[in-house]
Amino acid sequence: MIVLGVDPGSVRTGWGVIESRGARLTVIDAGVIRAGSDPPLEQRLCVIHARLCELIAHHGPSCMAVEDVFSKHARSALKLGQARGVVLLAGAQAQLPISAYPPALVKRSIAGSGAAPKEQLGRIVATILGLSKPPPADASDALAIAITHANAARVRMPRPA
């Protein structure tokens, strides 16, 4: 199974692609879509959507895992929700099954604590995937989402008799 994990944001959207073969997880690629903060929101959303469509076409994931919206501020939540919407649209257009995970669940599944700091999460993601150093924060978050999904899918899979 190839999982595309996405950490949506209106300025930076993290993404990570992993392959899951049983309990073995391998990173394929990861990065950050930098839409910038200067262009109007609608132009940033176009950049995010177009780049994700390219990534889906290039990597051919079998599913997508996306972080749920969480923000203490209504204005930030609205922008984040709009970015998340174009992420979901890109996945739906590619007919990918999409799963969503709350940020605290992702942190708990990776680091054992729903309040784990980003730096700790990045170090653990690097260790899980055998990387020599943590990826950039947004890419690391996206990889954590993909790992969470791969582990959840493995647990849900029926076992052979």
**What is the distance between the alpha carbons of residues 102 and 68, in angstroms, rounded to a whole number?**
5
Contact in structure between 44 and 21 (CB atoms under 8 Å): no
In the structure encoding, which two tokens stand for residue 147, read together?
A: 């790992």
Residue with tokens 């980003």: 118
Distance of CA 18 to the CA centre of its chain: 10
Catalytic residues: 7, 67, 138
**What is the distance between the alpha carbons of residues 92 and 86, in angstroms, rounded to a whole number?**
10
Report the 10 Å Cβ neighbour count for 19: 17
